[in-house]
Amino acid sequence: MNIQKNLDTLKNSIPKEITLIAVSKTKSIKEILLAYNHGHKIFGENKIQEMTSKWETLPKDIEWHMIGHVQRNKVKYMAPYVSMIHGVDSLKLLKEINKQGKNNNRCINCLIQIRIADESSKFGMNRSELEELYENLKYNQYKYVKICGLMGMATNTVDGFKIYKEFEHLKSLYNEFKNKFSSFNYLSMGMSADYKIAIDLGSNMIRVGSKIFGVRN
Ligand SMILES: *Cc1c(COP(=O)(O)O)cnc(C)c1O
């Protein structure tokens, strides 16, 4: 496993304007440093405790993206430093992020997670919940959060057409709500197995782990 070579290969295969999040969950400080020393500074984690301990140890110019499911009582631990929270799936969570943003006097970048897969294990809002959220935000000011776009995970399947349809659905929601949320800029979709399909369908932020760091235990 050559992390630096994997990074080069991946970066050379995607358009430059796409933001690559190197998903480093379960990987060691040493492995992350190999990527960092090769010039990569954006990493994604799915557990707050693990992310926070890595943030404490590693250089402070790293951007940390929380890509996993977030429990409200854990938001305070990442609020001081997190670069973007991808898994915002309720108004309650958004309000808590706003509160912790205020406590830390910083505006926290968020993506709304949309449930596009038909697996019950995957979190996210549906279209009408997103609509409701939009209506709520029209009348309430949450100054310490910035809604930067949408995030979604396709079904874990080898059926490329199914993945295509799910990403297509997410992209159409993104386009529709981009006109409403002026702050929309990012569509976070695509992982090691499906980032090519995601990019074809308009993703501009991909979250790739095993293709860079090797399979996780
Ligand atoms: C683990 C994870 C990824 C990366 O998965 P790979 O298949 O290793 O690329 C991307 N997004 C989320 C939300 C994840 O939890």
Atom 7 in ligand 1: residue holding the nearest Cα: 192
Kindly give the number of the ligand 1 atom that is closest to the alpha carbon of 210: 8
Q: Is the predicted pLDDT of residue 6 greater than 80, yes or no?
A: yes
Separation in Å, CA 168 to CA 58, 71, 193, 200: 37, 29, 16, 10
Assigned domain for 217 exists: no
Assigned domain for 113 exists: yes
Taking the centre of ligand 1 as the mean of its atom positions, its distance from the CA of residue 105, in whole angstroms, is 30
Is pTM, for the whole model, over 0.85?
A: yes
Say how many C-beta atoms besides its own lie within 10 A of residue 119's C-beta.
Answer: 11
Taking the centre of ligand 1 as the mean of its atom positions, its distance from the CA of residue 82, in whole angstroms, is 18
Average pLDDT of the segment spanning 26-47: 98
Assigned domain for 208 exists: yes
Task: Please give the full DSSP string across 108-148, using - where no structure is assigned.
Answer: EEEEEEE--SS-TT---B-HHHHHHHHHHHHHS--TTEEEE
Q: Which of 7, 21, 23 to mutate for ligand 1's pocket (most ligand atoms within 8 Å of CB)?
A: 23
* Tens digit of each residue's pLDDT (9 = 90 or more) over 176-188: 999 999 999 999 9
* Tens digit of each residue's pLDDT (9 = 90 or more) over 99-154: 999 999 999 999 999 999 987 767 999 999 999 999 999 888 899 999 999 999 99
The residue written with tokens 């009348």 in the block is 139
- For residue 151, the domain's CATH number is 3.20.20.10
Q: Which of 50, 84, 112, 207 to mutate for ligand 1's pocket (most ligand atoms within 8 Å of CB)?
A: 207
| 26 in contact with ligand 1, CB cutoff 6 A | no
Please state the domain count of the chain.
Answer: 1
Q: Is the predicted pLDDT of residue 88 greater than 80, yes or no?
A: yes
Domain that holds residue 113: 3-212
Assigned domain for 40 exists: yes
* Tokens matching residue 46: 């799915």
Task: Please give the full DSSP string across 59-89, using - where no structure is assigned.
Answer: -TTPEEEE-S---GGGHHHHTTT-SEEEEE-
Assigned domain for 108 exists: yes
Taking the centre of ligand 1 as the mean of its atom positions, its distance from the CA of residue 64, in whole angstroms, is 14
